Chains A and B, each alone.
Chain A
Amino acid sequence: MIDPVTLIHLTIVGAIVGLDFVSFPQAMLSRPLVSATLGGWLCGDTASGLLVGVLLECFALETMPFGASRYPEWGPAAVAAGAMAAVPGNAELVARTLPMAVLCGLCAAMVGGQTLVWLRRFNLSVAERYRDALAAGDATALVSVHWTGMILDFGRAGAVTALFVMVMLPLRAALVDALHTVSGETSLAVVAVLATGVAGGAVWKVVHTARDYVRYLLVGLLAGAAVVVLR
């Protein structure tokens, strides 16, 4: 069981990063790298939170929020995934839990994205209620519509974070014994290969239309390889 104070902290942080994603201020606190690290930190294991954050960030490189398209919402999901992976002082257990935490984080991000669609529909119904006032240029009505949207987004993100945490932490407790069959080292290697492979494909999608991109990619790869060999 998660203690209520930690749950409240996770909920507040989830609400903040969820609000940041679209409504205010889009400072990218909602990216998994940040959110998962905060989730792990709140549960006393910043390093594990960062680990999950790095892995989810690799997947998130594939999903950029273009226009009105539907995309996963990473913030609340990553806060919960960071909390799920946090096992202070037990690196082996963290490594074995990682695939489950990353998988749950990815699924939760899809659910979170759907709640954003519902919020936008609800925002529309609020705006429709004030349609005549908005058409007449009533600033009070505009501020009401706008602030209602932001307050609802904050509440939505907090609620989904709390829900994810309350589902994911008991899930870890229930399944952790069943994960003894694969070593932490193997688990970590598999999830790392998948994440960096997806990130590699995502980066190629973005850069392959840029002139001379291959030259820049090769320079980067050589620099990275040199650091690996020299270490």
Chain B
Amino acid sequence: MTPPRSLPPGTWLHVFARLFAVQGSYNYEAMIGNGIAYAAEPAFRLLPGGRDGEAYRAAMARHSRYFNAHPYLAALAVGALVRAELEGEQPDRVERFRTACCGPLGAAGDRLVWAGWLPFCSALALLAYGLGASAAGVLFVFVGTYNVGHVALRAWGLRAGYREGLKVASALASPVLRTGPLHVARALAAVAGAALPLVLLRLSGAPLRPFGLALGAAALLAVALTRWQARVDGWRVGVALLLLFFLYSVVR
């Protein structure tokens, strides 16, 4: 594969910064389509004729249309689309790519980030709380850990997308996306397993025996919720039980 022409560092930074706002005008028709064009726009200025050129306007029009993907992995699409436009790919090929990559980028991002990295970082912060960390410590663990992964994923996505161009499917086979969710899920299981009893202990502040009762009750609730998971959201059950307790404590 021919190596892509290198982009000026300022353009890279501009595109990368705009990726953080890719959902800025999220709506139910174009989804993040406007955001994709907004993020890629600094690179499109390099097209023949610059901002006033026909190529620039055509690229902007193409990429403002419907697009949907996980917001972090949208970076992969933006990188690939920027390269495709700068290399003058046929518009119908670009359009086919846009249509084809929505689903995989959405599914991979959801598994890796929303169902993996985010709950893992939450559990890690809860563990820090359970071990007695201060408020600043807990926040540092959560925000710091989460954003190391978050920023790295966006940066990797933009770079890999630009490197691979429309052949970016190979980047989707990267270990980060292929086996990452499995490793993160295992780490989440271990960290949450340690964190939840410690959180309960710190919250209730109870001696060991009442704590054992509380832990048993929490475990029972968790098991019940996993049994009913297809029928009801656990947090809604929590709201209902909390409401009952609140009413009991008010009217008693």
Contacts and interface: CB of A to CB of B under 8 A. Distances in A.
Is the pairing of A and B real?
yes
A134 B181 CA distance: 37
B138 to A, nearest CB: 7
Interface string A37-63: 100010000110111001101111111
A194 B237 CA distance: 9
B114 A194 contact: no
Contacts of B147: 27-28
Given A123-B27, A150-B25, A193-B221, A204 B226 contact: yes
A192 B200 contact: yes
Contacts of A203: 119, 123, 188-189, 192, 196
A198 B189 contact: no
A175 interface: yes
Given A26-B71, A142-B41, A197-B217, A55 B203 contact: yes
Contacts of A127: 25, 27, 29-30, 34
Interface stretch (B3-11, B93-101, B169-177, B239-247): B239-247
A217 interface: yes
A29 B197 CA distance: 25
Contact of A142 (B60, B114, B125, B242): B60
B22 to A, nearest CB: 9
Interface residues of B, number: 104
Interface stretch (B75-83, B158-166, B204-212): B204-212
B64 A142 contact: yes
Given A193-B200, A194-B238, A197-B219, A213 B189 contact: yes
Interface string A13-25: 0000000001111
Interface string B139-166: 1001100110010000000000000000
B13 interface: no
Contact of A206 (B129, B188, B246): B188
A59 B236 CA distance: 9
A155 to B, nearest CB: 14
Interface in A98-114: 99-100, 102-103, 106-107
- Greatest chain B CB density within 10 A among A29, A57, A222 is at A57
Q: Which of B114, B122, B252 has the most CB of A within 10 A?
A: B122
A57 B125 contact: yes
Contacts of A26: 20, 23, 71-72, 150
Interface of A: 22-29, 31, 33-34, 37, 41, 46-47, 49-51, 54-55, 57-68, 99-100, 102-103, 106-107, 120-121, 123-124, 126-127, 134-139, 142-143, 145-150, 153, 175, 178-179, 181-182, 185, 187-214, 216-225, 227-229, 231
Given A196-B222, A220-B190, 11 more contacts: A34-B142, A50-B129, A63-B233, A120-B26, A123-B25, A136-B57, A182-B248, A193-B221, A197-B222, A203-B192, A216-B190
24 contacts: A22-B23, A24-B23, A26-B20, A26-B23, A33-B122, A37-B138, A54-B199, A61-B119, A64-B119, A106-B239, A124-B28, A127-B34, A134-B61, A146-B38, A149-B27, A187-B249, A188-B203, A189-B204, A195-B238, A199-B196, A203-B119, A219-B190, A224-B196, A227-B131
